[in-house]
Amino acid sequence: MTRSGTPAYFALVPCAGTGSRSGAVLPKQYVTIAGRAVVAHTLAALTAVDRLQSILVVLAPDDDTFERCVPLPSEGRIQVTRSGGATRAGTVVNGLAALIGRGAERDDWVLVHDAARCLIRAEWVDRLIDACSADPVGGLLALPVADTLKAEADGRVASTLDRRATWQAQTPQMFRIGALAGALAAAGDAVTDEAGAMERVGLQPLLVPGALENFKLTYPADFALAERLLNVPARSDR
């Protein structure tokens, strides 16, 4: 790996989950929408980000589907490791170790992105890189919460939550490889995103405005919505 003396940018895509809430027969990252697998849309968008030196997809050890569903481009920036863990945090930890084993350095940046956020666009990733590259911590794409939030108990409203200063976390989430690896090791498997691990070691990630379309496919209705949006010509004005 050729180094210029300045930090490099890598993407890491955890792709070892089963997607049990999606209702699909296949893991949700392999469901076909708009003509190709969900994760294929995700990777196509990430490869359009020129500053990403490589994109590492972290698969489950027994994954025998990826290569059949995702044709890899000949230019070789997309790489694969079958070292996924039992949780998202474990998968990311193993992916970070694989990046370092392949020549990445601890001061390099890693952008961790959900395989199932297949409507991500290169310009949103570039916005995150521009915002975080000089930040001492790093940050994440996120959206201010617009809806009224309710706490539930036994199927009924228990209270109304204050939505002010509340944001919905998205991905990519961008941090230094070494700092993120250390934070995840300290946090354990309980955290559900990388920013949460950084928070647990006393750091405050930067919130970078994302886009409403950058949602994670989770439930059956999400797939139909994503397909409709993928069939709409992309706009670059947001």
Residue 76's pLDDT is what? 83
pLDDT value at position 234? 60
Q: What is the pLDDT of residue 2?
A: 47
Quick one: pLDDT at residue 3? 56
Tell me how far apart the alpha carbons of residues 73 and 67 are, in angstroms, rounded to a whole number.
11
Domains of the chain in start order, with CATH, are: 9-230 (3.90.550.10)
Confidence (pLDDT) at 67: 92
The C-alpha angle 216, 222, 224, rounded to 5 degrees, equals 135
Residue 57, H or E segment: strand 52-59
DSSP 8-state code for residue 188: G
Over residues 113-148, the pLDDT tens digits come to: 999 999 999 999 999 999 999 999 999 999 999 999
Sign of CA dihedral 146, 207, 114, 127: positive
**Residues of the chain whose pLDDT is less than 50?**
1-2, 22, 236-238
Q: State the pLDDT at residue 17.
A: 78
pTM over 0.85: yes
Residue 5's pLDDT is: 75
Q: How far apart are CA 66 and CA 16, in angstroms?
A: 10
pLDDT of residue 24: 58
| d(C-alpha 14, C-alpha 79), whole Å | 12
